[in-house]
Amino acid sequence: MCGIAGGVGPSAPSVQSLEAQLTKLEHRGPDDRGTYVNQGIALGMCRLAIVEIASGKQPFESADGKIKIVFNGEIYNYRELREVLVSLGHEFSGASESEVIIAAYRQYGPDFPNYLAGMFAIALFDQANDALVLVRDRVGKKPLWFSKRADGSILFASEVKALLTGLPTRTLRKGAVAEVMQFGYINAPNSAFAEIRQFPPATMAIWHKGDWSMRTYWQPDYETEIQISYEDAVVETKNKISAAVERRLISERPIGAFLSGGYDSTVVTALMAQLSKSTVKTYSIGFDHPQYNEVEYASAVAKYLCTDHHQEIVKPDPALILEEIAASLDQPFADSSYFPTFLLAKYTRKEVIVALGGDGGDEVFGGYDRYVAAPTMHRANYLLALAKPIAGVLGKTGVINERKLKRIVSQLQAHPSLAARYASIMSLTQPSELVKILKPEFNLSGANDIYLNDFKRAGARDSLHAMIRSDFEHYLPGDLLVKADLATMANSLELRSPLLDHDVIEWANSLPSKFKVAGRESKHILKDIARSLVPAELIDRPKMGFAIPRADWLRNELREITHYLLTDDVAKSRGWFDQHEIHRILAEHQSGQDRDSILWPALCLELWARNWL
């Protein structure tokens, strides 16, 4: 695990420029640093040593000196792949992952990423062919950003902040403002800057003597459905997840697990406990607020699994953390669960270097309530307005918690298609509100079009898999994995996600839809696996999510800083927001009407702008 940076062509970084980039990435790899710079090629890395600590230094050079490589991540099958390559005649001087990647490149050519199981961003320079090969892993666990210069050069890095040090200009891409306001994040291949783009997941690119080409090397299959009994499917699914967990236990550094007490992290931790030779260390945090505190559930699961459990109730100064965390985000990002993820990573890093988590369970196994709600609501499209009074009654009786109620009420209107409804469900701020809030030159519609176009594409066998595909291509890599990577690597912690193993993904996609969503129960098969590992009463509870008391913070601890940052002369001169609307929304929120879904992304955008524009 590390941070990488470099470039190829006439504008490739100098030694000094590359060192400056690596300084921006040193939180990703505090254990070691290495560079290679020579006539139009620069490769650098900061290393967090996890496996093959003695032999894993980078940049790594092939025995004949013709190939150099830096990479970020873990290749979980590198030992098995090494044995295959030895049988094919390859010789190895050591045991590093880098040497295995080079041998795979020589054996399989452009198809070599398909032989790698893991999370990775790779930069490989083939001197003999004057080619730089850049690869990102299948699901987008590890980030990779690049900039194509006017002279044909390519610059790359693990984080945008490192790229910015080597660019002569930085220009806001205007569409980013509406994207973040509506969805909370920016979709690949875009960034917030006109000069910088990101690799989509499962992408390979080759720079060859100035020519540049990109291609997708892997795509999940959402069309094929296998015939299998539910009982057999449960057994095989459990076996595949167990194998994925076992692959991720390879580490020469202390290892633990994030445990929320929900289904996903419970499955991962329970299998980890079965497979580990020593007691598993588990970690959870909560806030001093009943709607945002899961530690009692995590503690109960940990007690049953006999883990060495650590938990903390955090009472942070939101303003202080907002400043600390905002400095770690070089792209505007408005998913407020970044806060608890960052704090959990910081807490966990006190004792371990590697943690396993339950990321991906919802996207892979159909776990979101919206997978049930969206088609149901769309079937009742024009009757929904009649349900608003009923929803209000349910909210007063406590049958539906406050956060869910607000989401439901926001969707009680007709939409012309399931795609439009899904885009609406995924929106923090509805397009009708953006028209009022954003100045016209920043109210660009590209973000909404992504969702509308998703559902028009062939290749999804039903509405469930159209929604899963949409989340897998956008929400997962654009939001959840960005959050997980930046929050953990800011604290020099490696996070591994067994439920995002590509074997698990391919298998889950092939299962009948009714195994994932059965009636009104989402994530049906994974929940049954969880119930086979711990008593059902420990985990059968409403989904809470990993969130913060955002509305309360904005009304209290963050009130002054929010008002100041959104209404001062700097914000006015930026010209993004209609100041009359901003003042109105601030006043409404302060009076008790929760408007945090608008104020939070606006605040995140402004904080980002002050740090990076």
**Which helix or strand (DSSP H or E) is residue 360 part of?**
none
How far is the C-alpha of 274 from the C-alpha of 434, rounded, in Å? 50
DSSP character at residue 199:
P
How far is the C-alpha of 144 from the C-alpha of 197, rounded, in Å? 9
What's residue 466's pLDDT?
95
Residue 148 reports pLDDT greater than 80:
yes
Spatial contact of 266 and 292, defined as CB atoms under 8 Å apart: no
Spatial contact of 213 and 206, defined as CB atoms under 8 Å apart: yes
**One-letter amino acid for residue 207 of the chain:** W
The pLDDT tens digits of the residues spanning 547-591 come to 788 898 899 989 999 999 999 999 999 999 999 999 999 999 999
What's residue 504's pLDDT?
98
Residue 388 reports pLDDT greater than 80:
no
What's residue 386's pLDDT?
55
Q: Which domains does the chain have, with CATH numbers?
A: 2-216 (3.60.20.10), 230-365+462-538 (3.40.50.620), 549-613 (no CATH)
What's residue 398's pLDDT?
47
Which of 145-149, 318-322, 331-335 is predicted with the least confidence, judged by mean pLDDT? 318-322
Token output for 330: 């070089």
Residue 514 reports pLDDT greater than 60:
yes
How far is the C-alpha of 416 from the C-alpha of 517, rounded, in Å? 24
Closest CA to 475 of 410, 527, 428: 428
Place of tokens 């002369």: 569
CB neighbourhood size of 348 (10 A):
26
Per-residue confidence band for 390, with pLDDT thresholds at 50, 70 and 90: very low
Concatenating the DSSP letter of every residue in 380-434 gives TGGGGGGGHHHHHHHHHHTSS-HHHHHHHHHT-S--SSHHHHHHHHT-SS-HHHH
Residue 410 reports pLDDT greater than 90:
no
Spatial contact of 230 and 524, defined as CB atoms under 8 Å apart: no
Concatenating the DSSP letter of every residue in 226-274 gives ----HHHHHHHHHHHHHHHHHHTT--SS-EEEE--SSHHHHHHHHHHHH
pTM beyond 0.85: the answer is yes
Closest CA to 422 of 360, 371, 476: 371
The pLDDT tens digits of the residues spanning 256-266 come to 999 998 999 99
Spatial contact of 298 and 344, defined as CB atoms under 8 Å apart: no
Residue 493 reports pLDDT greater than 80:
yes
The pLDDT tens digits of the residues spanning 36-47 come to 999 999 999 999
What's residue 389's pLDDT?
54
Token output for 455: 């559902």
Place of tokens 């420990």: 538
Q: What angle do CA 501, 189, 603 make, to 5 degrees?
A: 95
Q: Please state the φ and ψ torsions of residue 42, each to the nearest 5 degrees.
A: -140, 130
Spatial contact of 332 and 602, defined as CB atoms under 8 Å apart: no
What's residue 405's pLDDT?
54
Q: What percent of the chain has pLDDT over 90?
A: 77
Residue 396 reports pLDDT greater than 90:
no
Give the dihedral sign, CA 17/18/19/20: positive
How far is the C-alpha of 565 from the C-alpha of 326, rounded, in Å? 13
Residue 464 reports pLDDT greater than 50:
yes
How far is the C-alpha of 235 from the C-alpha of 220, rounded, in Å? 22
Closest CA to 135 of 116, 149, 108, 150: 116
Residue 235 reports pLDDT greater than 60:
yes
Greatest Cα-to-Cα distance within the chain, rounded to the nearest angstrom: 74
Closest CA to 258 of 321, 304, 312, 201: 312
Per-residue confidence band for 455, with pLDDT thresholds at 50, 70 and 90: confident
Distance of CA 134 to the CA centre of its chain: 20
How far is the C-alpha of 47 from the C-alpha of 390, rounded, in Å? 56
DSSP character at residue 277:
S
The pLDDT tens digits of the residues spanning 295-329 come to 889 999 999 999 999 999 887 677 777 778 888 89
Closest CA to 493 of 358, 353, 339: 353
Concatenating the DSSP letter of every residue in 204-216 gives EEEEETTEEEEEE
| 3-class secondary structure, 492 | coil
What's residue 315's pLDDT?
74
What's residue 400's pLDDT?
46
Per-residue confidence band for 284, with pLDDT thresholds at 50, 70 and 90: very high
What's residue 393's pLDDT?
42
Determine the average pLDDT of the residues in 237-241: 98
Token output for 230: 């539910």
**Mean pLDDT, the chain, whole residue set:** 91
What's residue 397's pLDDT?
46
What's residue 230's pLDDT?
98
The pLDDT tens digits of the residues spanning 51-98 come to 777 767 899 999 999 999 999 999 999 999 999 999 999 999 988 999
Is 390 exposed, middle or buried, given 0-12, 13-18 or 19+ CB atoms closer than 10 A? Answer: exposed
DSSP character at residue 546:
S
Closest CA to 608 of 202, 332, 387, 374: 332
Residue 384 reports pLDDT greater than 70:
no
Residue 404 reports pLDDT greater than 70:
no
How far is the C-alpha of 354 from the C-alpha of 256, rounded, in Å? 6
Spatial contact of 531 and 539, defined as CB atoms under 8 Å apart: yes
